[in-house]
Structure 1
Amino acid sequence: MINNPFSKKVGSIFLPVSNLEKSRDWYCDLLDLPTDGEIFHGHLYVLPLNGLNIVLDSKIYAEDTVFKKPVFHFDTDNIEDAYEFIKSKNIEPTTGIQDGQWFNFKDPDGNHLMLCKC
C-alpha cells in the first residue's frame, strides 16, 4: 500500500485575470502590498500573503473561468471598517454586510471575493 503523500495543506489558489499587471496593481493596492515581485513565465504573479498564497494567472483567464462565487475569503477584525474601506477604493460591494460577519465584492475581472470577520 502506498502512503498518502498529501500534506493536508493548500498552498495556493489561482485566480484567472485578463491583464496580469493591472490585476497585480489592483490587488497590491487593495492589500497594501508592494508591486515589485517577480512575474513568472510571463503570466503568473504570487501575492505575498501570510498563509495561503493567491496566484494571479493570465494564462487561464477566459470569461467562463471567472469565479462566480467566492472560493475563499479575506479576513478582517472589523467588518464595518472593511466595508467602508472597500467603498473608499471605489469598489462596489455586491452584497451588504451579512449577519454582521461578511460581504462580497468583485475584482476588475469579475471574480467574486469575500471579506469575513474572524
Structure 2
Amino acid sequence: MADCPINHHVKAVFIPVEDIEKAKEWYEDVLGIEGGEIQFGHLFVADMNGTDLVFDEMPMWRGENGELPTLSVPAIQFSSNDIHASYRLLKEQNVELVSEVIHDHFFVFKDPDGNMLMVCQC
C-alpha cells in the first residue's frame, strides 16, 4: 500500500457539542485548553500539542429530530503525568466521573454534552 494517498497520521478528533460557545468555555475552565478559533459558525479548533481537537455542533450529522450524536464510549484519551491529581482536579470541579482511577492508570468522565472521555497516565 505504498501508493496510498492517505497519510498514516490522525490530524484531528471531533467532539460533538450542543453549543460551541458553552463547550469552548467548559473545556477552557475544566481542562485548561486555551486558544483556537471558531470556524464556519459551528466548529471550534482548539490549540493542542499534537492532534487537533475540534468541537463541532454537527449540523449535518444530527438525527431526524435534531438530536446530537454523542460519544457513548471513551473514544478520546487525554494524557496525564499524575492520574490521581487529574482525577482529584475533575472531581473538585464537579465534572461527572464515570469511573474511579482504574489500575492506577486511567479514568473516564463526561463533558456537559454527555460525551465520554478518558484521562490516562502516559
TM-score of the pair, normalised by structure 2: 0.87
The equivalent of 1:47 in structure 2 is: 46
Q: Which AA in structure 2 matches 1:74?
A: F
Are the equivalent residues in 2 in contact too, given 1:68–1:111 (CA < 8 A)? yes
Q: Which AA in structure 2 matches 1:28?
A: E
Query: Following superposition, which runs of at least 4 residues in structure 1 exceed 6 angstroms of deviation?
Result: none
Are the equivalent residues in 2 in contact too, given 1:17–1:61 (CA < 8 A)? no
Counterparts in 2 of 1:13 and 1:78: CA distance versus 1, 3 Å:
same
Residue 92 of structure 1, CA deviation: 2.5
Aligned equivalents of 1:106 and 1:23: distance in 2?
A: 12
Q: Deviations over 1:37-69 (max 9, x none)?
A: 321110000111100111000124564620000
Are the equivalent residues in 2 in contact too, given 1:16–1:61 (CA < 8 A)? no
**Structure 2 unaligned spans of 5+:** none
Answering whether residue 117 of structure 2 is matched by residue 117 of structure 1, we say no
TM-score of the pair, normalised by structure 1: 0.90
Answering whether residue 69 of structure 2 is matched by residue 70 of structure 1, we say no
Please give the root-mean-square deviation of Cα atoms over the aligned residues, in Å: 1.9
**Structure 1 unaligned spans of 5+:** none
